[in-house]
A and B are shown apart, each in its own frame.
Chain A
Amino acid sequence: MMNVNPTRMELTRLKRRLSTAERGHKLLKDKRDEMVRRFMEYIRKNKKLRQEIDEKLAAAMSRFSTAQAVMGESEVAEALLCPAREAKIKVGKQNIMNVDVPTIRFSVEENKADLPYGFAFTSAELDQSVLDMSDLLPLLIELAETEKICNMLADEIEKTRRRVNALEHIMIPEMQETIKYISMKLEDNERGNITRLMKVKEMVTEDAM
């Protein structure tokens, strides 16, 4: 219970605060529910992408290490020295339930050569792993966006949930109890007053008789 003076003014003030808190609680609860719903959509997508990438990227990388073994590390490094394409992205902002999350899009570029090197000194494994990687690129970018959104939403949901809980389990019950205390105290005073008046009246009538 809060430490307040049991006055009528305090009582009205508290009642007003309580109704604000209750409205806030309802709003926050709705916000939390909607955010969880959105979050579930993104996290499902995230999970699917993650599984796909874990699988495909590991395969591409192991192919790449085969290429390294076949060609020798310095030759591979040399072949990749000058990238044929530049992975470019466009970043923006998106607002999900008042959370600013990034959008990361693959920005399309003019079609350049698929492979950054000539065929003379490189092996087929290297070709294949590089091509695999470029196929994976859009997925990788999508994963980056989705995962970031999930991280940020999870954070915000946790915060909102804390607020909802604090209102629900601490603030609102505390205020209700204080309101009850004040109104009881006031009623008690009132009763005391009435008894006193009755007593005085009795004494006065006794005097008059």
Chain B
Amino acid sequence: MSNKNKLSVVGERDSVMIFKALGFITRYADKKDEIEKAVKQLARDEVPVIYITESAAEKIPETIAHFKSEPYPAIIPIPDKSGSKGLGMKGIRANVEKAVGTDIFE
């Protein structure tokens, strides 16, 4: 079965369970190696979009950096139930700094 038109989400059970209601592929993972395994498996299955909770994303920066410059999958950090830690914003800042040389958003 092709996964090319699916969305997926990785993170702590409590935070990502709700995505099930929308028909996302949900993977529950808490520990570093579990998260990594889930993300890599989804990437191998050619799921184009992987949402990952910020607290999970913090644990696997290398894996995320690895997929960053490839067209698929898009790994997108999302806030978890305790709110946003600003990781997504930090990613935007990093991109701006990389492209323009300085952070022009204040």
Residues of A within 8 A of B (CB): 35-36, 39-40, 43, 46-47, 50-51, 53-55, 57-58, 60-62, 64-65, 68, 76-77, 80-81, 83-91, 93, 100-102, 104, 107, 115-116, 129-130, 133-134, 137, 140-141, 143-145, 147-148, 150-155, 157-158
Q: Which DSSP category, helix, strand, loop or mixed, fits chain A's interface?
A: helix
Can you name 13 A-B pairs with beta carbons within 8 Å?
A47-B92, A53-B78, A61-B79, A64-B17, A80-B20, A86-B23, A107-B5, A129-B18, A130-B18, A144-B49, A144-B74, A152-B69, A158-B98
| Alpha-carbon distance between A150 and B76 when the two chains are bound, in angstroms | 12
Interface membership of B34, Cβ < 8 A: no
| Alpha-carbon distance between A154 and B24 when the two chains are bound, in angstroms | 29
| Alpha-carbon distance between A151 and B92 when the two chains are bound, in angstroms | 8
Q: Are B88 and A54 in contact (CB under 8 A)?
A: yes
Nearest first, the 8 closest Cβ-Cβ pairs linking A and B are A86-B23, A61-B81, A148-B74, A54-B84, A83-B23, A154-B95, A157-B99, A154-B99
| Alpha-carbon distance between A68 and B82 when the two chains are bound, in angstroms | 14
Closest CB in chain B relative to A145 CB, distance in Å: 7
Q: Are B69 and A83 in contact (CB under 8 A)?
A: no
Q: Are A145 and B17 in contact (CB under 8 A)?
A: no
Contacting residues, chain A, for B89 (C-beta < 8 A)? 47, 50-51, 54
Q: Are A61 and B49 in contact (CB under 8 A)?
A: no
| Alpha-carbon distance between A89 and B76 when the two chains are bound, in angstroms | 15
Q: Are B81 and A58 in contact (CB under 8 A)?
A: yes
Q: Are B71 and A100 in contact (CB under 8 A)?
A: yes
Q: Are A46 and B92 in contact (CB under 8 A)?
A: yes
Task: Please report which residues of chain B, range 50-106, place their CB below 8 angstroms from some CB of chain A when the two chains form the complex.
Answer: 51, 68-69, 71-72, 74, 76, 78-84, 88-89, 91-92, 95-96, 98-100, 105
Contacting residues, chain A, for B81 (C-beta < 8 A)? 58, 61-62, 64-65
Contacting residues, chain A, for B99 (C-beta < 8 A)? 35-36, 39, 43, 153-154, 157-158
Closest CB in chain A relative to B7 CB, distance in Å: 5
Q: Are A80 and B92 in contact (CB under 8 A)?
A: no
Contacting residues, chain A, for B92 (C-beta < 8 A)? 43, 46-47, 50, 147, 150
Known: A91-B72, A140-B51. A61 touches B15 (CB 8 A): yes
| Alpha-carbon distance between A157 and B5 when the two chains are bound, in angstroms | 29
Closest CB in chain A relative to B81 CB, distance in Å: 4
